[in-house]
Amino acid sequence: MPKILLGRVLSAGAALGFAVGMPASPAVGMPATPAPGNALAPPPVVVEVVQNALDIPWDLVFTDATHYLLNERAGRLWFASTDPAVPRAPVIADFSDLNVRTSGGLLGMAIDPDFATNRLFYTCQTHRGPDDVRVVRWRLSLDGRRATRVRLPVVSGIPFGSPHFGCRLLILPDGTMLIGTGDAAQASAPQRLDSLAGKVLRVRLDGSIPADNPWAGASGPRRYVWNYGHRNIQGLALRPGTSQVFNAEHGPEWDDEVNLVLKGRNYGWNPRNPAGGTAYYQNVPMTDRVKYPNAVPAAWKSGTPTLATSGLEFVKGSSWGAYRGRAFVALLKDAGVLSLAFDAAGRVVRSDQVPELDDTHGRIRTIRQAPDGSVYVLTANGVADQVLRVRPSS
C-alpha cells in the first residue's frame, strides 16, 4: 500500500477564522511556521503490549493517574490498571439496548471533568428501539466494577444509518461537549441543519443547549449543531495551549480530512447526485467549494487513496522531542499512526508516519495520552486486538 512520504506538506490556505467560537491566533494570515522542534528528527519510541485478546476496542479514557476505562464495540466495558501485570476487570453495565451493526455499537467515550467527585463518564452508542445514535451518561462505582445510567440520554435522535455512525466525544474546558457524528449514509443529512447526522454537535453535559450555539434559539434539532457538512467524524481533539479543536474524518475513496472545528461553518460534503434523485451518491468532492464557496478547506487531506483516519490526539511533554505538540492520527486502512505538525494558525506544515507503528500492529482506531505522558494506542483488527503503550525510548 502506498505510504505518506516523509516531510509531505499540505496546507489549508486561508480557511481559518475562529476556532470553537473564540478568536483565532494572531498568526492567521502569516506564513506557515513549524512549531518548535519540528525540524528535528523525532525520537525513537518503544511499543509495549499492555492488553490482549480484545475485540475491536473503540475508546479508552483515564479515570485517574493509574486507571482507565476501556470499551469494545460489541458492548463490553473494562476497568484496567496502567500496571499491565494487574488483570483488567469487567464492568457490569446494561447494554441490552445496544444496536451492534456493521461499524455501530459502543463507540466514543469521555470522562467528566469532575469525575473524582461525581464518578460520571459518557458513551456514544448505537441504540435499538428506536434505532438511533445517542450519548449516555453513566456513574462508575467506587470499585470500578459497575456502571449505572444517570437519568435520560444527554443527546438522542442522532440518525442511525449504516455504516456512517461517527461517533467521537470531546469535553472542552468551558464544560461543553462536542459530538462528532457520521452522515448515516443519508444523502441530504450533511447539509440539512435539522438533521443531527454529518455534524459536530455541542451541548452542555446535562444535554441542555449552550446559549452561544449558532442556532441556539431554534426549536428543532439545529439548536444542537455547531457546524455541518461532514461525512464520518472519527476523531476530535483540543490542541494544547490554544482554543483550536480539530476533527478527523473519513473520505469516500479520496480525501480523508483533518479539519479545524469552526463555529457555524459548512465543511462542504454533499452526497447528492447532481443529476437529481435522493440516492446516496459519493462521486462528489469531500469539500465542494464550487457548490459552497465558503466551505472550510481541510487543514490536511490524504488525497488518493484514503488512509481511513480515526482517533486524533495531540502529544504533550518535552520527552517527546520533535513529536511534542504534533497530532497523532490513527490510521485504519493504512495501518499505522500519522504525525501532523501545525503552525500557530492551525495549518499543517509537515506529515510523517511514526515508523515504529507503520504496518506493525495492523489497523489503529484510537490514540490517548496517559497522565504519565505515554501514549495508549488501540488496534482494530477484529481478531486478538491489543492496547499498546508507546513512549520515547529515552
Does this model's pTM top 0.95? no
In a domain, residue 5? The reply is: no
What is the CATH number for 342? 2.120.10.30
Find cell 473494562 and name the residue.
78
**Cα–Cα dist 326/341, whole Å:** 5
Query: How many domains, in total, are found in the chain?
Result: 1
- Residue 222 structural domain: 18-392
Across the range 254-275, mean pLDDT stands at 97
Q: What is the pLDDT of residues 157-198, one digit of tens each?
A: 999 988 899 999 999 999 999 999 999 999 999 999 999 999
In a domain, residue 220? The reply is: yes
pLDDT of residue 162: 85
In a domain, residue 9? The reply is: no
**Cα–Cα dist 269/200, whole Å:** 13
In a domain, residue 13? The reply is: no
Contact 216, 223 (CB under 8 A): yes
In a domain, residue 82? The reply is: yes
In a domain, residue 3? The reply is: no
**Cα–Cα dist 32/16, whole Å:** 12
Q: What is the pLDDT of residues 296-351, one digit of tens each?
A: 999 999 999 999 999 999 999 999 999 999 999 999 999 999 999 999 999 999 99
pLDDT of residue 40: 75
In a domain, residue 235? The reply is: yes
> 39 pLDDT band (50/70/90 cuts)?
low
Q: What is the pLDDT of residues 80-132, one digit of tens each?
A: 999 999 999 999 999 999 999 999 999 999 999 999 999 999 999 999 999 99
37-46, 84-93, 347-356, 365-374: least confidently modelled range: 37-46
Q: What is the pLDDT of residues 237-262, one digit of tens each?
A: 999 999 999 999 999 999 999 999 99
